[in-house]
Amino acid sequence: MHMFLTIFAGVPTTLLITVASLALGMLGGIPLVLGRRSRFRALRMVSRFLIETLRGIPPLVWLFLIFFGFGSSMTWMTALMASIFGLGLISCAYMAEIYRGGLSAISAGQWEAAEALGMNHRSVLSKVIGPQVFRVSIPAAATYGIGLLKDSSVAFTIGVTDILFRATAQSYQTRDALTPFLIAGLVYIIITIPSAWGSRWLDARLKNRVAR
Amino acid sequence: MSFFAAWDSWFPTLLNGLWVSVRVAGLSLLLGLPAGLLLALGSSTKRRPVRWLVIGLVELGRGMPALVMLQIVYFGLPSAGLTLSAFVSAAIAFALTTAAYTSEILRGGLQAVPAGEVEAAEALGMARRDTLRFIVIPQGVRIAIPPLMGFAILIFQVTSLAYTIALPELTSQAYSIGSSSFRYTSVFVLAALLYLAVTIPTSFLTERVENRLARHL
């Protein structure tokens, strides 16, 4: 039981990394998706290139690059900050693709209707289309967030004291190489299952606030 | 210029690492995909106990981070009397993850096969097994190809986690060069470029396959 509680104490750190990097991604995904759908070919290509690069490099390599690479000249950077920043960068790309799917789910008639009312492009996007894209994107974003929660376990490699880090420490201390990791797996499952229920509930509530 | 200085001397080592990564990813997919198909069939069967057991297994496999799975297989199994090399451990751990994830992708594909086709096959007097084998599986798997390719890109990236069990794949090779030369930024940029050399073309290929398959549906 003591071992379980010790490992469970890593949950806040894991949640902090997940929530903070998802928030970064939700913000950073907006300019990326706007660039991806821009009228200008150059901008579209730059955004596409950025998205592919961010998604194409493993999270672990991003963390090492940021923490050991850039971090060596930025001494103020902690391992926790590096992992939030690294996973946040990757999330920007994934969220941009999720928003893109959401944008295409909003019918073209709404653009036309808003334009017919004399709204300019920017206010159609921010007042009519944008809010609905957020709602449509919630299920995919929640699925991504749950995946991110599990991906956040890579932070243990640079010394962030999350669930897996504590499990590893316990396995060194107790010389038991199996139980701590099984407990860690269990803890991840315990926290992902309510997250999945929560996202389904949120989705059901927001679904009827989208015009089809 | 010093940023690129040692790239030519690191390149062969990193390329060897990349080859290990590709092999681990390939073996995981080879073992994991058939298991994923079995799980997909199991989770859509009418027999309730089987279905629940399979869904439980899939949820366990998807709920557990691949990194935790790897630690269990590599560090945990020896205490249960089964010692595996780093390469085999990585392939097995990622194959388990692959099976759990692809079973959901394949289940989606199987469900996308129109129910009318199954009914038509039944009306023709085909056995359930034949319906599955000749009607549902070939079409369902085909629908699932683009998301499966997307997953293959992810599992290729996941192989970087095998750094934690000292498998000499791309990330561990880059890390060991970094720790002896203290030029982490430079070596990890090169490693990242090598990962991109695999992931970006595959991603473009996935898009093309997706567009092509969409024409026939």
Question: Which chain A residue is nearest to residue B80, measuring alpha carbons?
Answer: A178
Q: Which residues contact A212 (CB under 8 A, 6 or more apart)?
A: A107
DSSP state of A107: -
Give tens-digit pLDDT for B51-79.
999 988 898 888 899 999 999 999 989 88
Kindly report the length of chain B: 217
Q: Is A160 left (phi over 0), alpha (psi -120 to 50) or beta?
A: beta
Tell me how far apart the alpha carbons of residues B44 and B34 are, in angstroms, rounded to a whole number: 16
Q: Give the ipTM.
A: 0.87
Tell me the residues of chain A between 45 and 64 that have a Cβ less than 8 Å away from chain B.
52-53, 55-62, 64
| Residues of chain A with C-beta less than 8 angstroms from the C-beta of B59 | 189, 193
Q: Flag if A68 and B188 touch (Cβ within 8 Å).
A: yes
Q: Flag if B196 and A56 touch (Cβ within 8 Å).
A: yes
pLDDT at B147: 92
Query: What tokens does A111 get?
Result: 């653009």
Q: Flag if A69 and B196 touch (Cβ within 8 Å).
A: no
Question: Which chain B residue is nearest to residue A70, measuring alpha carbons?
Answer: B185
What sign results for the dihedral spanned by CA atoms B187, A46, A137, A85?
positive
Tell me how far apart the alpha carbons of residues B117 and A97 are, in angstroms, rounded to a whole number: 33
pLDDT at A93: 96
Tell me how far apart the alpha carbons of residues A165 and A183 are, in angstroms, rounded to a whole number: 12
Q: Which residues of B touch A (CB under 8 A)?
A: 59-60, 63-69, 71-72, 75-80, 153, 157-161, 163-164, 171, 174-175, 178, 182, 184-186, 188-189, 191-192, 195-196, 199-200, 203
Tell me the nearest-neighbour CA distance from B62 into chain A, angstroms.
Answer: 9
Query: What tokens does A13 get?
Result: 């750190």
pLDDT in tens, chain B (217 residues): 578 878 888 899 999 999 999 999 999 999 999 999 999 999 888 888 999 999 888 988 888 999 999 999 999 898 888 889 999 999 999 999 999 999 989 998 998 889 899 999 999 999 988 999 999 999 999 889 999 999 999 999 999 999 999 899 999 999 999 999 888 899 999 999 999 999 999 999 998 998 888 776 5
Give tens-digit pLDDT for A157-185.
999 999 999 999 999 898 888 899 999 99
**Contact criterion met (CB below 8 Å) for A20 and B120:** no
Place of tokens 């990757």: A90
Residue B183 CA, distance from chain mean position: 31
- Chain B interface disruption, residue of A181, A192, A195, most B CBs within 10 A: A181
Tell me the nearest-neighbour CA distance from B45 into chain A, angstroms.
Answer: 23
Spans of chain A below 50 pLDDT: none
pLDDT at B85: 92
Residue A22's nearest CA partner among A114, A152, A131, A170 is A152
Tell me how far apart the alpha carbons of residues A186 and A191 are, in angstroms, rounded to a whole number: 9
pLDDT at A211: 66
Give tens-digit pLDDT for A32-43.
999 998 889 999
Q: Flag if B196 and A52 touch (Cβ within 8 Å).
A: yes
In degrees and rounded to multiples of 5, residue B85 shows phi and psi of -70, 165
